[in-house]
Amino acid sequence: MADIVVATDIQVYFSSSGRLFSSRQVKAVDGVSIAIAESETLALVGESGCGKTTLGRSLLRLVELTGGEVEFSGESVNRMNRRELRGFRRNAQAIFQDPYSSMSPYMTVREIVEEPLKIHGIDGSVDEVLKRVNLEPTGQISAKYPHNLSGGQRQRVSVARALTLSPKFIVADEPVSMVDASNRVEILSLLRELQSDRGIAFLYITHDIASARHFSDRIAVMYLGVVVETGESELLVENPNHPYTKGLLAAVPEPRASNRTRLRETIAGELPNAADVPTGCPFHPRCPSAIPGRCDTIRPEPVTLKDGREISCHLFTERN
C-alpha cells in the first residue's frame, strides 16, 4: 500500500515567556518522521505532555511547523495555498479528545454534522451518517443538543462529523478516553469497520496501549517530543526493546490475583520540562540502562532492526 501521509523531521516549537519558562522555547515536537499508509492505523502512545496531540494537529496543519515537511498524497501540506488547503481539509479530518468542548452547545446534532457539508458546498445525508455510527432513531437524535446526549452518543456525533466528507485520513485524538469500557470497544470496532469499508487511514492518539494493540497496525512510542520506537503492534507489545517502551508496558495492570501483593516496577522520576530538554537522549535521566558519557551527550539516531522495527537508543546503535 502507498503512504498517504509522510511527515519528515517535523519540528514544532513554541515561544514562551514569564516566570514558568523564562522566555525559552518549548520543543513540543522535535524531529519526528512517520509515514501512514492507506487503510492503515498508526497508534501514537506516550505520557501526557510528550507532544502526541501537537504532532497530530501538525499533520492537519492546525498548528504551523517550525521545521520539517508534511506530505499528503504526494503534495506538500506546508506549501498549500488557501484553495489547496480547502481541498486538503475535505480529505483530512479530526476526532477531538473532548466531545464536550469540541461541539457548540448552541447547535443541534443535525447542525453540527451538517456544518462541514455547508462549508464545502457539497450534498450529503446527515441521517445516513448518523445511521452509520448507530445513532438512531435519527430524527430524534438529530434534533437534540449536545447536553441532551450521553458521553458515548457525543463521541459518536464527533465520529459522524469527521466522516461526513468521506475523508481519506483521520487524526483520532483519544476518541474513547471519555466513555466507559463497553462504549469504548463499540466505538473502536465501529472505526475499524468504517476503515475497512472506506479505506481510511488513522493516526490513533492514546495513552491506552491495550486499545492501541487492538485497534492499530503499528505503534509509535513518543517521549518528550521524539519517537523512540516504532513497530508492528503485536510485536512491539509482546517484545518491547526501548527501555521507555518496557517501562510503559510494565505499568499496564494485569488482572491476576497474585498482583495484589506484587510491587509493580515504574519509570523513575517524572517527564522533564519541554522548555528544558536534557542533552543527548531525552530519556537518559530516567533510563535504568543509560550509558554514561554517551546517552547524556549524544542523541541516538534511529536504526532499523531485523524484525523491521525502528528504534532510537544507543544500546541498539552499538549493537548494529
Q: Where are the domains of the chain?
A: 3-254+261-319
Confidence of residue 260 (pLDDT cuts 50, 70, 90): low
CA atoms within 13 A on the CB side of 211: 23
Please tell me the distance from the alpha carbon of residue 157 to that of residue 133, in angstroms, as a whole number: 8
In this structure, which amino acid lies at residue 26? V
**What is the value of pTM for the model shown?**
0.91
Contact (Cβ atoms closer than 8 angstroms) between residue 229 and residue 309: yes
Residues 301-312, mean pLDDT to the nearest whole number = 92
- Which cell numbers hold the place of 281? 537522549
Of 161-170, 205-214, 220-229, minimum mean pLDDT range: 205-214
Residue 150 scores a pLDDT above 90: no
Q: Identify the DSSP state of 302.
A: P
Q: Which amino acid, one-letter code, is at 261? A: T
Give the C-alpha separation, 5 to 41, whole Å.
11
What is d(CA 260, CA 258) in angstroms, rounded to the nearest whole number?
Answer: 5
The answer on pLDDT for 242 being more than 60 is yes
Query: What is d(CA 217, CA 231) in angstroms, rounded to the nearest whole number?
Result: 9
Strand bridging mode 92-95 / 169-173: parallel
pLDDT value of residue 272:
83
Specify the CATH superfamily of domain 3-254+261-319: P-loop containing nucleotide triphosphate hydrolases (3.40.50.300)
- Confirm if 265 and 247 have CB atoms less than 8 A apart: yes
Angle among Cα 262, 239, 2 to the nearest 5 degrees reads 140
No. of helices (H) and no. of strands (E), the chain: 11, 12
CA separation for the pair 12, 25 (Å, rounded): 10
Average pLDDT on 116-142 reads 91
Least confident span in 55-59, 114-118, 230-234, 273-277 = 273-277
Interacting residues of 251 by C-beta distance below 8 A, sequence separation 6+: 264, 265, 266, 267
- Tell me what the mean pLDDT of segment 112-126 comes to: 91
The answer to whether 7 and 34 are in contact (CB under 8 A) is yes
- Give 119-187 as a DSSP string: HHT----HHHHHHHTT--SHHHHHTS-GGGS-HHHHHHHHHHHHHTT--SEEEEESTTTTS-HHHHHHH
Instruction: Assess whether pLDDT exceeds 90 at residue 171.
Output: yes
Average per-residue pLDDT for the chain: 89
- Cis geometry, peptide bond prior to residue 137 (ω within 30 degrees of 0): yes
Rounded to the nearest angstrom, the gap between the alpha carbon of residue 122 and the centroid of all alpha carbons in its chain is: 29
Question: What single letter denotes the amino acid at residue 310?
Answer: E
CA–CA gap between residue 12 and residue 158 (Å, rounded):
26
